[in-house]
Structure 1
């Protein structure tokens, strides 16, 4: 039993409120909540959500600061993926309307230029594949070279599936700053979500990326039929991984996928989950990603930014529309939250 787990047992025995315990443990000492404590937070009643969000915001400000990191993403290779991730419209195994397509290099350069114009510090190149082949890695290399030749010094991230050690080394040599590879959900729930590869295979890619010196971006999707206990498990497993960034997605039930009939996550549950993850990961970049518009709407997005979030993806996602980038930038201005890339140049 860890010290945090022992503290949780003490909280139960003494009747110390979990948020009071979190204030001392997370806000004052910077020690993230353990799995059992996260579960207590996820079970808080609705009338305590404002208090929870306020504490999560304090934690974010204390350990991460006021700046918000902006990122844009683009799909270099869309659709036709051989894997059976049940949430994904890009799987070639499901009758979804998404079809296989490649983005050319001029299109990639244009997307990077438009992303940089928003004040974003990150531009992520994504491909729907099990892992990259030589053709894809060559496209990524040519794309990064073209982006740099365009005079764009934005940081480049990639999300290209599972990697070998040689591929990790190639990406480092290309100058890739950060690698995204989501664990998607708790280890205990993963076999219900994906059957064509394992949670452990994803973990091994993340281990190699971390060892190679690239920043690790790893999160998942809330609302894929997991229990509240599994959400707590997932938060604890991410804390064990200690990624630089955790993107938080909320399920968009995609037509043609096995999850097309699942319900959209309730907004209050989404905010409760965001705050709980912040208390589990006090020093991590916590990024709003896909599904926030559907789950939270405009008001919910602002509440999330004041409830632990300190990064967002602007513009559209891989196969779904997002909010216009300017709408998010205006929101940050209204909230007096400086954009990281802009702050670095002032």
Structure 2
């Protein structure tokens, strides 16, 4: 664990060096600098969000990428991720469900109708077996024949052969989150290691698929470990970072943890943007409870440039129309499918 560092940011004048480093040169913050942002006083938050928004506009542009997700297999996962109601080891109410291919195509069509440019297929598994890979081959093929939308996937830890197979299917982006900092990970998961997650992420990044690798904050980690996590994500150089805020689920080991403070959540958004100036930073689970409508708007003006619309895997999200109306109100154009890499 990192040694605690006292806040080094106290007033707007101290942001000059960070502005020159990140906004002008496009160089992300170091772990120590990230920590200084995370521990900055509330009165500096508006200036940090303003800087993060300027960084996002300069290095990523004004477009916002919109994505929908659907679970191919929900619940019954053998892993013990302490935040997740899909684990078969806990008493949470989600149980194993498989989605058939016509339902998958229908969900992709509904996602495309919102204006989303990407559709992500998710399965609650340690890693895919041949049955799941076979469903993926059929599902991706059917979606591509029916809908003009990019297909992403999140199927747990992979072998190199499975990575190659997903590339051959035409999956353009793979999600595998680090979830927590390396030093805190054993408090979150005991059935696999942080290193196993890292290895999958490196294989994906080297395959030519885009790497989507995010995290979940507010799980009882220290501020220092939150800075460590942002620095480790920056080292991995993912194309996209989904930022989740803990939504405590009944029946899980983290079910009684409090919601993250909204100002801490906004500081986290700013810090992650300043750590990764060129990365897609996506609003993901928990933002509705943690930030509410006003905080959601603040985050979009503080470094966020991608949104998951609709519901998440086991929790309800905002009405997609509300998010799309907010983007229109903020004059933030939705990234068109033709502009996808």
TM-score, with normalisation over the residues of structure 2? 0.95
Equivalent position SS for 2:336: helix
**Structure 2 matches for 1:303-318, cutoff 5 A?**
303-318=298-313
1:196 Cα deviation from its structure 2 partner: 0.3
**Which residue in 1 is equivalent to 2:205?**
210
Q: Choose which of 252, 259, 263 in structure 1 pairs with 2:247.
A: 252
Alignment RMSD: 1.6
1:294 to 2:295 alignment: no
**Which residue in 1 is equivalent to 2:130?**
134
Conservation of the 8 A alpha-carbon contact between 1:18 and 1:40:
no
1:273 to 2:268 alignment: yes
Q: Distance in 2 between matches of 1:32 and 1:17?
A: 19
**Which residue in 1 is equivalent to 2:46?**
50
Equivalent position SS for 2:87: coil
Point out 4+ residue stretches in structure 1 off by more than 6 angstroms. none
Q: Distance in 1 between matches of 2:163 and 2:99?
A: 22
Q: Distance in 2 between matches of 1:265 and 1:18?
A: 27
1:123 Cα deviation from its structure 2 partner: 0.5
The superposition leaves residues 282-312 of structure 1 with CA deviations (integer Å, 9 ceiling, x where unpaired) of 0000000000001001111100000000000
1:145 Cα deviation from its structure 2 partner: 1.1
Equivalent position SS for 2:92: coil
**Which residue in 2 is equivalent to 1:240?**
235
Structure 1 unmatched ranges of 5 or more:
1-7
Conservation of the 8 A alpha-carbon contact between 1:77 and 1:103:
yes
Conservation of the 8 A alpha-carbon contact between 2:149 and 2:337:
no
**Which residue in 2 is equivalent to 1:165?**
160
The superposition leaves residues 250-282 of structure 1 with CA deviations (integer Å, 9 ceiling, x where unpaired) of 001000000000000111110010001000000
Aligned length: 333
Q: Distance in 2 between matches of 1:299 and 1:79?
A: 32
Equivalent position SS for 2:115: coil
1:178 to 2:188 alignment: no
Q: Choose which of 69, 84, 87 in structure 1 pairs with 2:80.
A: 84
Q: Choose which of 222, 230, 238 in structure 2 pairs with 1:227.
A: 222
1:103 to 2:99 alignment: yes
1:106/1:299 CA distance change after superposition, 3 Å: same
Q: Distance in 1 between matches of 2:13 and 2:297?
A: 27
The superposition leaves residues 48-77 of structure 1 with CA deviations (integer Å, 9 ceiling, x where unpaired) of 111110010000001000000000000000
Equivalent position SS for 2:94: coil
Q: Distance in 1 between matches of 2:172 and 2:92?
A: 32
1:18/1:242 CA distance change after superposition, 3 Å: farther
Equivalent position SS for 1:246: strand
Q: Distance in 1 between matches of 2:76 and 2:144?
A: 29
